[in-house]
Every structure is written in C-alpha cells, then in structure tokens.
Amino acid sequence: MKEVFVASTSKHKLGAVEGVAREVFPEEESKVEGRKASSGINEQPVGHEETIQGALHRLEELKGALDATRSRYDLLVAFESGIFPVTVGKVERWFDLAWVVIEDGNGTQKLAHSTGIEFDAADVEKAKAKGFKTTTAGSMISERTGADSTDPHSYLTHEVVSRSEMLRQALKTALGQLSRSILEQ
C-alpha cells in the first residue's frame, strides 16, 4: 500500500491526489491522508518565488508533524496557488496557477506547476486593496459572482476545468519527474 500524505485538508487538493494515486498506482491501493500545514506566506501569494516558498513551507511542516508520529511514507505532497502578473501589449493581466512539490521516501523532491487561468484584474486589485495578507483574488471573484471562492476556476471556465483537475495535471507532471523508484515500489 502506498502511503501518501498531503499538506492540506482541502477537498480540492485531496481529491486531486486521490485521483492521481488511483491513476498512477492502479495495481496498488493508496492511502491518502491530509494534514493541516501553514504556508507561512500571504493568503494570496504573488509571483513564483513566494508561491514556491509557500509550498515548500507546507511540505516542511508536514514532515515535522510526521516525524513526530511515524517513520515511513511513500510520498509527500504540498500545493500552493498564487497569482502572476503578465504584461500583454501594454496591459497588465493576471493569471492564477498552483505549484506542487512532492517528496518520496528517499527525500527526492520534484516541482511542477499547473496550467494558469486568467483572473480579472479588477478582482486582483480589490484583493490587493484589502491586503494580500488576508484576502485572495478568488474570494473577490466569489464575492462578485457567487462562485466557490476555493474553485473560481470552474466558474471562469464555464465548468470545463476545475481547480482539482488543474492540480491533478501538475501533480502528474511532478510524479513523472521522480525516479522510477516511486512508481515501481
């Protein structure tokens, strides 16, 4: 049995990991368990560095919690979503994407990011005015539209792509980069 621990209790993140575990390890049962872990950064990270820092902080918190209670795991997973400014022509546009960091039982880490989805600049500016420390652009999209603040992706893509689906693809990419050892254990 593969033992997989996720640095989150989010239904979107756990659902993504459970789905990928079934797909990547079809011959073996996987036990996926979520644990709360803080990112140690703003509620709304901006840029790759801050977002990756948040994912790595979550992973370290998860490892610390596991070190106190168990000695073995097959895979650790931590996600962090952030927003990223991109200038197109002379217009600043904003994209949301998630970074995932995974670590196998030997301590090998791999990172990958999800597909990005454009967020309305007005929602980003509203979150910024309220303070990225406590306010996300997703919560501003939710306030404006009634969409799920933890999955504005579904609303923004007219239910074509959910946040979980985006996280799944990033996780599969990171897993594919690990040595075959995790896939063949």
The CATH number covering residue 12 comes to 3.90.950.10
Question: Do the domain assignments include residue 9?
Answer: yes
What is the domain range of residue 50? 2-85+96-115+161-184
Domain count, the chain: 1
% of the chain surpassing 90 pLDDT? 84
In the chain, beta strands by DSSP E? 2-6, 30-34, 75-88, 91-104, 109-113, 117-119
Question: Do the domain assignments include residue 38?
Answer: yes
Question: Do the domain assignments include residue 79?
Answer: yes
Please give the Cα distance from 70 to 100 (Å, whole number).
23
Q: What angle do CA 155, 157, 159 make, to 5 degrees?
A: 65
% of the chain surpassing 70 pLDDT? 96
Question: Do the domain assignments include residue 53?
Answer: yes
Question: Do the domain assignments include residue 123?
Answer: no
Mean pLDDT of 113-139: 97
